[in-house]
A and B are shown apart, each in its own frame.
Chain A
């Protein structure tokens, strides 16, 4: 049974409009509270598989602009990104890269190894 997932993007209007044309599901959020609420909603959204009657998350990837992603509290982020899906991925927004994405990778290294061994 092939499983199909959707892709969502959360951000301000300028950031998401372009992706709408690509066929992504776009969600407009201007404040952090809105973004967090949206994330919870999207994570909770489930699709029923008609044949097997199995439930699975509707979204496999949720892109979120860096400006919004960097202000999500740690606890919320942990809750949202738990499990194999969905993948929460910060992308640079319309204002350009903030360096948050690279920092996030550094944090992962720190978590895994004990210290950020790739720090420049």
Chain B
């Protein structure tokens, strides 16, 4: 803690007192924001973890299927079967404001059929693998949504936490100490003034007595 480098005047004192008030108010608001963000973040992060686990599980199964499918077919056949997909995905994005942090929400729109190839040249496994992919895909979008939200919130939380800490442990104590320093100094000056007036009064009285 260090006091600020200011002159001990009444005007500075008034200014500083105003700043302390502002800092305390800001600190309270930021603390509330941090709590609000933290509440949302905790909910989201729990969900993210469980979704991520499910996806890892399901996706590796889907890939296994796909690997089997590709092993059964000629690579050229596989590629030409998947060359022109008729399925289309579109994403609708809306944002929500959580404590002045914008977080995205995704809504998936799918059209067309994923099994868009001749059945004669492709294996049964490919159909299975693709429908497995199709099944995990909405979950993946969900995961993307949740993780992006978590990421955004984490960023915002970090900055808010830093601000709260800076205010709480540096700014407010510094200001308070300086206020204290100035008020002490002013009181000291006042006492010094009173004493010097008393001294002068005594001296004048002494002089008057000697003349008389």
Q: Interface on A for B, CB 8 Å cutoff?
A: 2-7, 14-15, 17-24, 60-61, 63, 81, 84-85, 87, 89, 91-94, 96-97, 101-102, 104-105, 108-109, 111-114, 118
CB distance from A66 to the nearest CB of B (A): 9
Task: Tell me how many residue pairs across A and B have CB atoms closer than 8 Å.
Answer: 148
| Inter-chain contact A20/B88, CB cutoff 8 Å | no
Q: Flag whether B59 is at the interface (Cβ < 8 A).
A: yes
Given contacts A84-B104, A91-B143, 11 further A-B contacts (CB under 8 A): A4-B90, A5-B91, A7-B89, A23-B110, A84-B148, A87-B148, A89-B144, A89-B147, A96-B56, A105-B48, A112-B41
Nearest to A17 among chain B residues (CB) is B82
Residues on the B chain within 8 Å of A104, using CB: 147
| Inter-chain contact B41/A97, CB cutoff 8 Å | no
Nearest to B145 among chain A residues (CB) is A87
* Residues B128-148 near A (CB distance < 8 A): 129-130, 133-134, 137, 140-141, 143-145, 147-148
Nearest to A15 among chain B residues (CB) is B63
| Inter-chain contact B153/A5, CB cutoff 8 Å | no
Show 15 residue pairs from A and B whose CB-CB distance is below 8 angstroms, ordered by the A residue: A5-B90, A6-B89, A6-B90, A7-B141, A14-B66, A17-B70, A18-B66, A22-B87, A22-B134, A23-B112, A23-B114, A61-B91, A97-B59, A108-B154, A112-B37
In angstroms, Cα B145 to Cα A17, docked, is 23
| Inter-chain contact B141/A61, CB cutoff 8 Å | yes
| Inter-chain contact B92/A3, CB cutoff 8 Å | yes
Residues on the B chain within 8 Å of A94, using CB: 63, 66-67
Residues on the A chain within 8 Å of B167, using CB: none
CB distance from B68 to the nearest CB of A (A): 12
Question: Interface size bucket, B side?
Answer: 35 or more
Q: Flag whether B177 is at the interface (Cβ < 8 A).
A: no
Stretch at the interface among B14-22, B155-163, B182-190, B200-208: B155-163
* Residues B72-112 near A (CB distance < 8 A): 78-79, 82, 85, 87-93, 95, 102-104, 106, 109-110, 112
Residues on the B chain within 8 Å of A18, using CB: 62-63, 66, 82, 129-130, 133
CB distance from A58 to the nearest CB of B (A): 11
Residues on the B chain within 8 Å of A7, using CB: 89, 91, 141
In angstroms, Cα B45 to Cα A102, docked, is 11
Q: Flag whether B23 is at the interface (Cβ < 8 A).
A: no
| Inter-chain contact A22/B133, CB cutoff 8 Å | yes
Residues on the B chain within 8 Å of A15, using CB: 63
| Inter-chain contact B154/A87, CB cutoff 8 Å | no
| Inter-chain contact A118/B49, CB cutoff 8 Å | yes
Nearest to B58 among chain A residues (CB) is A92
